[in-house]
Amino acid sequence: MPGVICPIRGGPSSQPTIKRAISLAKEKNLDLHFLLVVNLDFLTYTESSRVRLITEEMHEMGEFILLTAQETASAEGIAAKADVRQGDVGEEIIGLAQELEADFIVMGRPLGEQDEDVFANDRLEQFIERIERESGAKVILEDEVDG
C-alpha cells in the first residue's frame, strides 16, 4: 500500500512533522501511517522484571502519542494508521516502509538534545541516505520546501 510514513517521538517538537506528513498525504492523495519506535537498549543491564514493565508502559505511551497524531490527521480529513514498534529506529522505519511499499517518509530534524540521538545533525545525511537506499522511499524533512 503506497503512502506516507511519519515516524515521530511525541511532544510539541513532533507537531510540525505531523502537519507536514498530513499535508503531503492530502496533496498526493496517499495513505498516512504514523510510527513510534520504542528503543530501550539503554536498559540492557537493568533487572529484567523492570525492563518488561518499562517496555509495557512505553508501548502504552506510544499508543497514546500515536492516537493524538491520528486525531490531528482526522481533523484534516485523513484516516491515518499507526504502529508502535520496538527496536532500532532505522531498522523499524525501513521495515515498515518495505512492508507498505511507502513512497515517502516524513521526518523531523534533530533537536540536538543528546549526543546519542539517532537523528543528530552530524549523522542525519547518512541516516537519510540509508533509509532511502534500503526502503526505496523518498525521505522528506518536515521543514523542506517543495522544489
Domain boundaries, the chain: 3-141
Q: Please state the φ and ψ torsions of residue 32, each to the nearest 5 degrees.
A: -120, 135
The pLDDT value given to residue 1: 64
Q: What is the mean pLDDT of residues 50-61?
A: 84
Radius of gyration, alpha carbons of the chain = 15
Q: What is the mean pLDDT of residues 64-76?
A: 97
The pLDDT value given to residue 147: 46
- Determine the Cα–Cα distance for residues 120 and 143; give it in Å rounded to an integer: 16
pLDDT band at residue 68, thresholds of 50, 70 and 90? very high
Give this prediction's pTM: 0.86
The pLDDT value given to residue 39: 84
- Determine the Cα–Cα distance for residues 145 and 147; give it in Å rounded to an integer: 6
The pLDDT value given to residue 53: 81
The answer to whether 8 and 68 have CB atoms below 8 angstroms apart is no
The pLDDT value given to residue 144: 74
Cell numbers of 137, please?
A: 522511499
Q: Cβ neighbours of residue 18 under 8 Å, at least 6 residues apart?
A: 6, 8, 34, 69, 72, 73
Task: Give per-residue pLDDT as tens, 90-144.
Answer: 999 999 999 999 999 999 987 655 445 555 666 888 999 999 999 999 999 988 7
Q: Regarding the domain delimited by 3-141, which CATH topology (the fold level of the hierarchy) does it fall under?
A: Rossmann fold (3.40.50)
